[in-house]
Amino acid sequence: MHTKNMDSTHSSDTTTTTTTLSHSNSSTSQSPASPPAQYGMVNNAPIVVLSPCAACKILRRRCVDKCVLAPYFPPTEPQKFTTAHRVFGASNIIKLLQELPESQRADAVSSMVYEANARIRDPVYGCAGTICQLQKQVSDLQAQLARAQAELVNTQAQHANLVTLICMEMAQLQQQQQQQDQQQQQQQQLLAMSDIFQNDWLFTEEACQGSIWDEPLWV
């Protein structure tokens, strides 16, 4: 299935349809060679007088000058009109285009051809099937996004909790370390004091001993 792009490249130059067909009856449109392309010079530029537009050719009618369908259904793309005609009908297409300003007609034709293609592809839902599918996809993705956002908020809260816990534990550890340091200092002080005390004691003992042994018992 080929996709129709919504371009409007078919400018109005294709409206220069031949008016020489007026003498020919409708059967001439059957053979592509019957309306011969005529070449002329207008303002020193060669212009090609094209065969009737695809719509008029398919409808087997005379493609008049200023044919409302000609700018949008060039003879090079007959499938476009066949598709739109099959679903909307020629008179509906013409009516719709006549009711629209010229600036919006190309887009209208593009969307009609798109819709017609979708309807032929899916006779039950047409392009509504595609729209529903896409809407479902959108709501699924929105739900997925909401879940991901909730998960993110949860993870951020957990992270904040963990940081708080780590800070508290670090503070506790620091406090314990300080206490240990203090205890060690106190112990060292105590030890130092006991050393001094012991030295004093030894000294006194030595002094006593000295006093005992240095002195002759008898002279």
Write out the residues near Zn ion by the rule CB under 5 A.
Answer: 53, 56, 63, 67, 69-70
State the nearest-atom distance from the C-beta of 62 to Zn ion, in Å.
Answer: 8
Cα–Cα distance for residue pair 187/100, rounded to 1 Å: 100
State the nearest-atom distance from the C-beta of 52 to Zn ion, in Å.
Answer: 5
Nearer to Zn ion, 23 or 43 (CB): 23
State the nearest-atom distance from the C-beta of 18 to Zn ion, in Å.
Answer: 11
Nearer to Zn ion, 53 or 112 (CB): 53
Nearer to Zn ion, 52 or 118 (CB): 52
Cα–Cα distance for residue pair 98/206, rounded to 1 Å: 132
State the nearest-atom distance from the C-beta of 111 to Zn ion, in Å.
Answer: 20
State the nearest-atom distance from the C-beta of 133 to Zn ion, in Å.
Answer: 36
Nearer to Zn ion, 67 or 116 (CB): 67
State the nearest-atom distance from the C-beta of 78 to Zn ion, in Å.
Answer: 12
Nearer to Zn ion, 21 or 69 (CB): 69
Nearer to Zn ion, 23 or 44 (CB): 23
3-state SS of the chain is CCCCCCCCCCCHHHHCECCHHHHCCHHHHHCCCCCCCEEEEECCEEEEEECCCHHHHHHCCCCCCCCCCCCCCCCCCHHHHHHHHHHHCHHHHHHHHHHCCHHHHHHHHHHHHHHHHHHHHCCCCHHHHHHHHHHHHHHHHHHHHHHHHHHHHHHHHHHHHHHHHHHHHHHHHHHHHHHHHHHHHHHHHHHHHHHHHHHHHHHHHHHHHHHHHCCCCCC
